[in-house]
């Protein structure tokens, strides 16, 4: 019944608008154009769409199970022009299909663990559903005030450091929120939002904020026992405030993400670009992140809480590099202190550290030292080649207090090739991403610390068409 309602509401809406616009265009050719009509109003709005094909494969070590999947999907959206000079309404939806895949619900016979990457292309709650999976993604009201300030209420795409689309599967994370962007000054902008529901990537449902924590694998607690916070978290929502100061080559950002009854995360980021000389400029950036547990961590029973009372973490991350029209390079380093685990629900977004590399994270760990190098070569405007490598020193896999997911220290190499089409195929782009991860620490001859984590190759071929 859910799918029928979705199609009826979304597609009937788009079809009715198209008919109305078509009738208006036809009327224009038949008679003098009348701008005081509903059809003329809709003509001034913005239609947009997205089609996506995503092939993914993971080759694990030895006789550990390999996986593959191919998903396709498409969606369409519409945003009205301004109503009474201040208001806009937007709506969008997306559907997808599992064309071909391994049995994504089947556990590996040696480790009894399930697939990690390919399962996220579709609905993680129904891994073997090959039918159409649809989601009403955006449904919002925009209120324009002042010169450039906008209040957006409803379903929308998040754009903050810790809650973001994390576009590494078929569909991104979305939020239901009230978000205010204030841009009334030349160099300063402010952002504030309150989130009450979230639809994480790899899902098609909408969840209350507390309910959304634990949809992904939950790891172990600080004592090494399986975490029990799934379906046990109480939170009234998430509040985010941020400010950005931009003047010439200097950018300073302050952000605070408050998860009611669970966690507060504050971030300071400072970045500087030099003036371009001979087509090249230097880049220097630094981040400091401070986390502190809030309330009872989500549940008065510590065994069911997401964070422990009085726990916290500190993170330092830095970058230096050089940019040009043809070639960019960056050296990056991150240190998560041994004070405690850095935590942030993986369902909500990827981490903002400079050492972040696609297809792996350092969330859930403390006492981490990471170093990476990123290189980007652009031989011509349509092609970008990325070669990145990283060294990630993590706590021992049996140090449960600082290693939530049993991930060994590892190295990672990413090779990416992006091609942007032009002319008749403008809006079409293709990405080939090859990821290799290997252990550089002790795994105790236990494949549970290896499967889908290290000594593996992961491949993605992603084709997008935006219009």
pLDDT of residue 35: 75
Determine the Cα angle at 316 with ends 240 and 219, to 5°.
70
Q: What is the DSSP letter of 302?
A: G
Strands 383-393 and 410-420: antiparallel
Helices (H), 182-227: 209-212
pLDDT of residue 9: 46
Whole-angstrom Cα distance, residue 392 to residue 357? Answer: 11
Q: Is residue 314 a contact partner of residue 279, using CB atoms and an 8 Å limit? A: no
pLDDT of residue 133: 86
Determine the Cα angle at 26 with ends 24 and 29, to 5°.
115
pLDDT of residue 11: 47
pLDDT of residue 15: 45
Q: How far is CA 246 from the centre of its chain?
A: 24
**How many of the other CB atoms lie within 10 Å of CB of 123?**
20
pLDDT of residue 361: 95
Of 358, 356, 361, 367, which Cα lies nearest the Cα of 346? Answer: 361
pLDDT of residue 32: 55
Q: What is the DSSP letter of 303?
A: G
pLDDT by residue for the chain (467 residues), tens only, comes to: 344 444 444 444 444 445 444 444 444 444 456 778 888 888 899 999 999 999 999 999 999 999 999 999 999 999 999 999 999 999 999 999 999 999 999 999 999 999 999 999 999 998 888 777 899 999 999 999 988 999 999 999 999 999 999 878 999 999 999 999 999 999 999 999 999 999 999 999 999 999 999 999 999 999 999 999 999 999 999 999 999 999 999 999 999 999 999 999 999 999 999 999 999 999 999 999 999 999 999 999 999 999 999 999 999 999 999 999 999 999 999 999 999 999 999 999 999 999 999 999 999 999 999 999 999 999 999 999 999 999 999 999 999 999 999 999 999 999 999 999 999 999 999 999 999 999 999 999 999 999 999 999 999 999 999 99
Whole-angstrom Cα distance, residue 281 to residue 136? Answer: 43
pTM of the entire predicted model: 0.91
- CATH fold for domain 45-466: Porin (2.40.160)
């Amino acid at each position: 019944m859910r799918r029928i309602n979705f199609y009826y509401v979304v597609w009937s809406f788009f079809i009715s608008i198209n008919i109305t616009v078509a009738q208006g265009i036809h009327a224009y050719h038949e008679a003098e154009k009348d701008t005081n009509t509903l059809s003329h109003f809709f003509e001034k709005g913005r239609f947009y769409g997205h089609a996506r094909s995503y092939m993914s494969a993971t080759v694990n070590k030895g006789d550990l199970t390999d996986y593959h999947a191919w998903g396709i999907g498409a969606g369409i959206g519409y945003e009205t022009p301004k109503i009474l000079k201040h208001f806009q309404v937007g709506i969008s939806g997306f559907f997808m299909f599992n064309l071909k895949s391994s049995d994504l619900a089947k556990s590996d016979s040696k480790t009894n663990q399930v697939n990690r990457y390919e399962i996220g292309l579709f609905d993680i709650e129904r891994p073997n559903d090959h039918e159409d999976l649809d989601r009403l993604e955006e449904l919002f009201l925009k209120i324009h005030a002042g010169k450039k300030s906008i209040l957006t209420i409803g379903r929308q795409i998040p754009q903050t450091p810790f809650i973001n689309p994390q576009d590494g599967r078929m569909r991104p994370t979305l939020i239901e929120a009230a978000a205010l962007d204030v841009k009334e000054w030349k160099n300063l902008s402010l952002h504030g939002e309150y989130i009450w529901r979230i639809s994480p990537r790899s899902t098609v449902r909408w969840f209350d904020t507390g309910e959304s924590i634990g949809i992904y694998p939950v790891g172990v607690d600080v004592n090494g026992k399986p975490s029990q916070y799934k379906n046990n978290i109480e939170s009234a929502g998430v509040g985010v405030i941020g400010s950005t100061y931009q003047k010439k080559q200097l950018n300073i950002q302050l952000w605070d993400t408050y998860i009611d009854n669970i966690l507060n995360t504050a971030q300071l980021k400072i970045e500087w670009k030099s003036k371009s000389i001979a087509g090249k400029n230097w880049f220097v950036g630094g981040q400091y992140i401070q986390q502190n547990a809030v309330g009872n961590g989500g549940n008065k029973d510590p065994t069911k809480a997401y964070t422990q009372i009085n726990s916290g973490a500190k993170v330092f991350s830095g970058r230096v590099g050089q940019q040009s029209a043809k070639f960019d390079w960056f050296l990056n380093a991150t240190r998560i202190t041994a004070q405690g685990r850095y935590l942030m629900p993986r369902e909500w977004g990827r981490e903002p550290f400079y050492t972040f590399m696609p297809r792996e994270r350092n969330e859930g760990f403390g006492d981490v030292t990471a170093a990476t190098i990123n290189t980007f070569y652009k031989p011509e405007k349509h092609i970008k080649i990325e070669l990145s490598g990283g060294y990630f020193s993590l706590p021992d896999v049996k140090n449960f207090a600082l290693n939530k997911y049993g991930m060994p220290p590892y190295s990672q190499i990413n090779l990416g090739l992006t091609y942007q089409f032009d002319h008749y195929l403008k809006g079409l782009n293709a990405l080939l991403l090859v990821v290799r991860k290997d252990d550089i620490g002790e795994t105790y001859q236990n494949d549970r610390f290896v499967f889908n984590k290290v000594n593996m190759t992961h491949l993605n071929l992603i084709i997008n068409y935006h219009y």
